[in-house]
Amino acid sequence: MLRDTRPLRRLAVAGTAWGCLLLGALAGQRILAAQARARIGPGKSKGPFSQFASRAEWQMPARVMDEIGVRPGMTVADVGAGDGWFTFLLADRVGPSGRVIAEDIDAGALEAVRERCAKEKVSNVSVVVGEAEDAKLPAGTVDVVLMVNVLTAIHEPTGLLLSLAKGLKPDGQLVIIDWDPGKLGQLAEGQANPLLELTRRQVRDAGFEVVRILDFLPTQRMWVCRRQRLG
């Protein structure tokens, strides 16, 4: 079973339309939405995850990093990192010349990241305890911000997204990976589209534009965003 110890980033998933959808989509499994990643037991649950033996199979991290161009020397922020499932994969990819910022509002969960860094002598990971509306990333330093299963559980994400824009370099990318309700089998495509459009509107309101939507993940959708260019 995947372990996710993070508390809620301000609002319980069940308090939103998306949250209600996710609760049904995961067939009654408990969803913890601390920075809003779901607790899932692939291979042990019924529904869309029953065909997978591990998270790596449905999350496809190597391809995700390929598609968004994560490479050695980059600075990548894992926003909503929790205990660092994606953090250490990113750290391997960016290498000793790069840097990964593991951000979460749950200081306790980030202790697992610190402990693993010490145990495995990982020197290219920094830990940042953020706030609900401020990820506290160093200004203008980040090449890629990655948010995995975070956005859909935040009732009003504009403040957080604005803080991420400040952390990005001018040509940096915001990459959002989140549940696709159509793939989870809870809504028909036509019904799911308004919920997917909500994500586009949220990032636009925070000054981003969606430059690519990637649809290869079996249960999620990816939005690759950049800051809107004036003029």
C-alpha dihedral sign at 124, 216, 59, 160: positive
| DSSP conformational letter for 228 | P
The more confident residue out of 26 and 50 is: 50
* Token reading at 152: 């859909």
User: Please, which residues have CB within 8 angstroms of residue 126's CB and are 6 or more apart in sequence?
Assistant: 99, 100, 101, 102
pLDDT tens string 75-84: 999 999 999 9
Q: How many CB atoms lie within 10 A of CB 143?
A: 21
- Position 96, amino acid: P
Contact by Cβ (8 Å): 13, 22: yes
Cα→Cα distances 174→66, 167, 215, Å: 15, 10, 16
| CATH class, range 58-227 | alpha beta
Tell me how far the alpha carbon of residue 117 is from its chain's centroid: 21
User: Please, which residues have CB within 8 angstroms of residue 43's CB and are 6 or more apart in sequence?
Assistant: 49, 50, 52, 53, 54
- Confidence bin at 191 (pLDDT 50/70/90): low
Q: Select, from the ranges 36-40, 125-129, 149-153, the one with the highest average predicted confidence (pLDDT).
A: 125-129
Q: For the whole model, what pTM was predicted?
A: 0.80
Domain boundaries, the chain: 58-227
